[in-house]
A and B are shown apart, each in its own frame.
Chain A
Amino acid sequence: MRKILVIDDDQTFRELISSGVDKNKYAVATAADGVQGLEEFTKNKPDLILLDIMMPRMNGVEFLEKMKEAHGEQKVPIIITSNDSSLDTISRGAELGVRGYIVKSNESMKTIMASIERVFTESEK
């Protein structure tokens, strides 16, 4: 069973991922901001993180910085799922070692799910 951690302040998105994935293959943990995200990361040791950028308390970029500080290179693949499509954030994300960038409102659930699948198939190779 693969573990996915969804860090997003939008409850709907968290629930959509939880309900949308194939429950036979994936277990989903959720966090509403970066602070909770760090806690859940330690607790659940996920295999993939879906990370929002604009969040209260600790935003996605701060989360990435904290992760890098604590664990060096990002060993767990991280996909940014945000509506923030500014080049600054995208390049900052790339610097901090994210695997992919999905602009949530531009993509369907099908694409998002396919991206999740792809990360796992790639890492299995």
Chain B
Amino acid sequence: MLTFILGFLATCGIGLSAFLLLNEFKTKVAIERRERDSARRIYELAILREIGDRIGYSLDVTQIVDIITSSLHQFIEYAAVSYMIIEPEKVMFKMHLERSVHRRFVTDVRDRMLSSLGALLDREFKKDDVKEILSGAILLEELDEPVSSFFNIPLVIGDKVVGVLTVSDTKSGLYKEEEMTILYKLIQQASKAVTSLQAVVKAEQEKVSAMVESMEDGVVMTDADYRILVINPAAKRIIGKEGQKDITIFDFIDNLGGKMDMRGRLEESVKLKKNYVSERFDINGKFYQAFVLPVKTETKLNADDVLGGVVIFHDVTREVELERVREDFTSMIVHELRTPLSGIQKTSELLKLPAKKGSGPQTKKFVDLIYQNSSGMLDLVNDILDAAKLQAGKFEVQLGPTDINDILENRKQFFEVSAGDRHIKLETLVSKDLPKNIPLDQQRIKQVLNNLMSNALKYTPDGGSVTVSAFVHDPASSVATETAKLRLALPSPLPENAFPANKHSLVVAVSDSGIGIAADLMPRLFNKFQQLNNAAFVSNIKGTGLGLAIAKGIVEGHGGNIGVVSQIGSGSAFYFVIPFNDTLLTPKA
């Protein structure tokens, strides 16, 4: 019994220890498996990372699949790894043999791959379309073993099947779930990388092409054989081929007409990697400067390889125009200063001659000439200084209570002599309700009136008339009523919108019965140097062309605005409007 018990106990003990042992074994197995699993996972990760790194930023599917297949034997057993990729005109079939096989093995795998590719894409491929490349072990006639294990993975990039990848062997029962999972992951990762990379590249390309498209500069890129790869609308516009497709370098050569040797400069850029900046040249009335640059690759493999050239046409028309205006202005100033200076010099030369009998009136005449010429020069210098102030944006006015009627009468007297010489009727017309204490810069307003009145006299034929008028504009009334009340005849009514809507304002107008101004010229009249920019003016009227620009600056310095209405043949009216405080008005009874 005891033996039994002992035996039982022993058995139990054995059983227990056996139980314990079994448990221990199980744990050990579990640990081992876990270790193996984690080792495998680490390995897997390491391979994935390695392959990922090697794939890098390649966009070439073939290159990526080559990288994957060359690393695959590290963790999957196969006699052959192969891939099939659809290319524009053929199907590329590439197989790498780890072991020698029979030719039939290769053909069998190839046919199976082609049919699964056809099934995936729902398309029929001909066997003749396949371009085959074999590598690795040699084919052997005596090893006639069939394909016993075969596993196919579709290669998908951006939701599109681009090919299949296959592992195959003569041994059966290979390619269990575990290995295939790794393969799937690999392919997935590669596919994901390429897909996202393609998206990035596409977005970048779109950005670049949108930029090139919308650039104002003309951009033309050619390959190393000077075939145009990229051309933007601006470049087409320059040679007058807007909207035309298929533009070649000859279109440019024809239109440049030898002004810039585009072909020769591109050749220099491509062959000698030289940058070139052209002189200015003109095509179809516009001026350009061309930049020719080589296009280099930046991959490490082919550092500094020249792919072609880029020509950028930079529009410099505006600069050329500005330069011209500046040159014209300078030569105008020189001319306008030289004439009176030379007059003064010659007058004094005559004055230096020994006095003749009865030289009294002669001397007075010469002194008058010197006085006139030096006054003219002083006016010109003052105009230039004023224009410089305008340019610097600091036209300051010194306001003081002013009776505009006094200024008008004063100017009328000043111009009466020259008007009378030419039988021009010079009149003033002032409304009675004008406040006598409007804050104005008297000297500056005189300057404006000098300018407007001398212009009016200049452009009015002998026997005509010039009227200087002033009145108050009431925002509650209309300018038309106010001018009618004053019996002021204007060549054209003043625009109601030129007057402040919530304040009373002083309106001064200088109207004439002169030649009038063409409508298209009016908006530019108050621009600086305008007279110079208009050939019709230059040949007829002398002057700096600064007067109206300065007048505008002065009126704006008073918070007002200046304008003109005109009718060709019947005359012009220049007017300025200066708002003032309603408190200045005499209260109505």
Contacts and interface: CB of A to CB of B under 8 A. Distances in A.
Interface of A: 9-13, 15-16, 19-20, 54, 56-57, 59, 83, 104-105, 108-110
A94 B340 CA distance: 27
Interface stretch (B364-372, B463-471, B551-559): B364-372
27 contacts: A9-B542, A10-B339, A11-B372, A12-B340, A12-B343, A12-B346, A12-B347, A12-B372, A12-B373, A13-B346, A15-B369, A16-B343, A16-B347, A16-B369, A19-B366, A20-B350, A54-B335, A56-B540, A57-B539, A57-B540, A105-B338, A105-B339, A105-B341, A105-B342, A108-B346, A109-B349, A109-B350
Closest 9 CB pairs of A and B: A12-B343, A105-B342, A109-B349, A56-B540, A109-B346, A105-B338, A12-B369, A16-B346, A10-B339
A62 to B, nearest CB: 9
B541 A56 contact: yes
B362 interface: yes
Which of B340, B346, B366, B373 has the most chain A CB atoms inside 10 A of its CB? B346
Interface in B326-361: 335, 338-343, 345-347, 349-350
Contacts of A13: 343, 346
A19 B346 CA distance: 11
B541 A108 contact: no
Contacts of A11: 372
The interface residues of chain B, by DSSP majority, are classed as helix
Nearest to A84: B335
A54 B345 CA distance: 20
Contacts, number: 50
Contact of A19 (B339, B345, B350, B539): B350
Nearest to A16: B346
A83 B338 contact: yes
A19 to B, nearest CB: 6
A39 to B, nearest CB: 15
Contacts of B362: 19
A15 B367 CA distance: 12
Contacts of A19: 350, 362, 365-366
Contact of B539 (A20, A59, A109): A59
B539 A83 contact: no
Contacts of B342: 83, 104-105
A16 B343 CA distance: 8
Contacts of A10: 339, 343
B243 to A, nearest CB: 41
Contacts of B345: 105
A16 to B, nearest CB: 5
A108 B349 contact: yes
Nearest to B541: A56
B143 to A, nearest CB: 96
Given A10-B339, A83-B339, A56 B350 contact: no
Contacts of A15: 365, 369
Contacts of A109: 346, 349-350
A56 B346 contact: no
B506 to A, nearest CB: 34
A109 B339 CA distance: 14
B190 to A, nearest CB: 74
Contacts of A57: 539-540
A61 B588 CA distance: 64
A109 B344 CA distance: 11
A83 B343 contact: no
Given A13-B343, A104-B342, 14 more contacts: A11-B372, A12-B340, A15-B365, A16-B347, A16-B350, A56-B541, A56-B542, A57-B539, A57-B540, A83-B342, A105-B338, A105-B339, A105-B342, A109-B349
A31 to B, nearest CB: 16
A20 B343 CA distance: 13
Contacts of A110: 349
A106 B383 CA distance: 26
Contact of A83 (B335, B369, B373, B542): B335
A26 to B, nearest CB: 15
Nearest to A105: B342
A42 B471 CA distance: 50
A25 B340 CA distance: 28
Nearest to A13: B343
A105 B350 CA distance: 15
Nearest to A106: B342
B249 to A, nearest CB: 38
Contacts of A59: 539
A117 B349 CA distance: 18
Contacts of B338: 83, 105
Nearest to A112: B346
Nearest to B369: A12
Which of A11, A15, A104 has the most chain B CB atoms inside 10 A of its CB? A15
A109 B372 CA distance: 19
A62 B362 CA distance: 34
Nearest to B342: A105
A12 B369 CA distance: 6
Which of B338, B341, B362 has the most chain A CB atoms inside 10 A of its CB? B338
B97 to A, nearest CB: 86
A79 to B, nearest CB: 16
Contacts of B339: 10, 12, 83, 105
A22 to B, nearest CB: 10
Which of B339, B340, B341 has the most chain A CB atoms inside 10 A of its CB? B339
Contacts of B350: 16, 19-20, 109
Which of A12, A16, A54, A83 has the most chain B CB atoms inside 10 A of its CB? A12
Contacts of B349: 108-110
B221 to A, nearest CB: 43
A7 B467 CA distance: 33
A56 B372 contact: no
A10 B369 CA distance: 11
A110 B541 CA distance: 31
Contacts of A83: 335, 338-339, 342
A61 to B, nearest CB: 11
